[in-house]
Amino acid sequence: MAKVQVKTPIVELDGDEMTRIIWAMIKEKLIRPFLDVNLKYYDLGVQKRDETDDRITTESARAIQQYGVGVKCATITPDAERVVEYKLKKAWPSPNGQIRSILDGTVFRKPILVKNITPAVRSWTKPIILGRHAYGDLYRGVELVVDKPGKVEIVYNPTGGPESRLLLHDFKGPGVVMGIHNLEKSIRSFARACITYAVSEKLPLWFSAKDTISKTYHAYFKNIFAAETAAQKARLEQAGIQYRYMLIDDAAAQIMKQAGGILWALSNYDGDVFSDVVAAGFGSLGMMTSVLVSPDGQYEFEAAHGTVRRHYYEHLKGHPTSTNSVASIFAWTGGIKKRGELDGTPEVTRFGAKIEKAVIDCIEAGVVTKDLVPLIEPRPAAHQSTEGFIDAVAARLKDLM
Ligand SMILES: NC(=O)c1ccc[n+]([C@@H]2O[C@H](COP(=O)([O-])OP(=O)(O)OC[C@H]3O[C@@H](n4cnc5c(N)ncnc54)[C@H](O)[C@@H]3O)[C@@H](O)[C@H]2O)c1
């Protein structure tokens, strides 16, 4: 059987622990035997990042900028404990955070749906994709406890003046204050990345905030989204995409009654909360994919979960594991399908879709890893090992080729 040829390279970012084990199996059993692709390989495993003083992370992001499509395995973001565990020079920053800032990108999370897992919200029959703004607000806030009566003001000192002041509160007793900010450039990039992804996925786009109460701060976001969607009206219309601004409380209520098939853009805190609501509603972390999209259309695909550390320690002890590889497989297929689309090679896109079909067929036949057993109806009698599941997918894929 001739392999499917891929025109342009795909950037491959390797990672850590159990997901690194899974990643290698996917490449060996589901990709290499069927696809002739030039993979630009970057090892983002924590030891390699340490060895290169983390230069490899920046290089991998530059490669994604050059080639347009990357696939990434989950990586450790080291804390003090991990510095000791892996004997690192220091606690290197999150690779995801760095890549996101180099690509100026937005992360979209998308659940993988199968017929035999019923979402907690019965009406959800299509994926709800969440786009979370990843800069500022609560996450860059400054806070102060007020313990005595007194005035708290916001003081703005523009270069060249004049200074202006705004009374935040005249405290008569103890209390607390917070100052938050955001940047026009960041909000605009977020809006553009949302438009790019809505067009790419052909999904209606919602943005929600609370501009009835926050008439300046939230209205600033709303206005930027309005301006960006107006500027790209022709592109949105051509793709048949409707943009809607909704109050956050209205959107939160409406989403419970929708079938899904929506791209929901949210500010940082709302996105933090609702991405967990949507993930829990759809079932399992092992079934949630994530894609980073830059405003000018570069893509990096990955699983939304981490390195599944506990399973890795079992694996190191030689114990059998049953780790869900679905989201990691979909990171590969997302990259392959996008590569085919950007290169104008439909056979490559079709191959990505075939792997996805093989995965879904397995799950719908009750061939699953342990984490899915309690969610599947009817409940399967047994579960697969980590490798057993990937082998089952490979066998189905062969039949589809
Ligand atoms: N995108 C990323 O690269 C990313 C994201 C989150 C965490 N991390 C890193 O991952 C490491 C472990 O973090 P964590 O334990 O908080 O998150 P985790 O996602 O690895 O695990 C959280 C929980 O979900 C379970 N789980 C997650 N994915 C699973 C799967 N595929 N199959 C079966 N069970 C699964 C785990 O057993 C655990 O109970 C940390 O070092 C963290 O820095 C990386």
**Dist CA 190 CA 226 (whole Å):** 13
Do 368 and 299 share a structural domain?
Answer: yes
Helix residue spans in 52-126 (DSSP H):
55-67, 80-85, 95-103
Structural domain contains residue 260: yes
Q: What is the pTM of this model?
A: 0.90
In the listed set 282, 300, 333, which residue is the last one of a domain according to the structure?
A: 282
pLDDT in tens, 34-57: 999 999 999 999 999 999 999 999
Q: What CA–CA distance (Å, rounded) separates 338 from 335?
A: 5
- Report yes or no: 368 and 389 within 8 Å, Cβ to Cβ: yes
- As for ligand 1, residues whose beta carbon falls within 6 Å of it are 74-77, 96, 285-286, 302, 305-310, 323-324, 371
pLDDT, tens digit (0-9, with 9 covering 90-100), for 248-291:
999 999 999 999 999 999 999 999 889 888 888 887 888 999 99
Mean pLDDT confidence for 327-352: 97
Residue 74 Cα to ligand 1 midpoint, Å, equals 8
In a domain, 137, yes or no: no
Residue 162: asked if its preceding bond is cis (omega within 30°), the reply is yes
The Å distance, Cα 328 to ligand 1 centre, comes to 12
Task: Tell whether 93 and 72 lie within a shared domain.
Answer: yes
Of 26, 287, 305, best ligand 1 pocket probe by most atoms within 8 Å of the beta carbon: 305
| Assigned domain for 136 exists | no
For residue 344, what are the CA distances in angstroms to 48, 81, 258, 299?
A: 35, 46, 33, 16
pLDDT at 100: 86
For position 228, which CATH number holds? 3.40.50
- Same domain, yes or no, for 333 and 374? yes
Asked whether 15 and 57 are in contact (CB, 8 A), the reply is no
CATH number at residue 51: 3.40.718.10
CA 62 to chain centre: 19
Whether residues 302 and 262 share a domain: the answer is no
Q: How far is the CA of 290 from the centre of ligand 1 (A)?
A: 14
Across the range 153-167, mean pLDDT stands at: 96
Residue 361, Cβ density class (10 Å: 0-12 exposed, 13-18 middle, ≥19 buried): middle
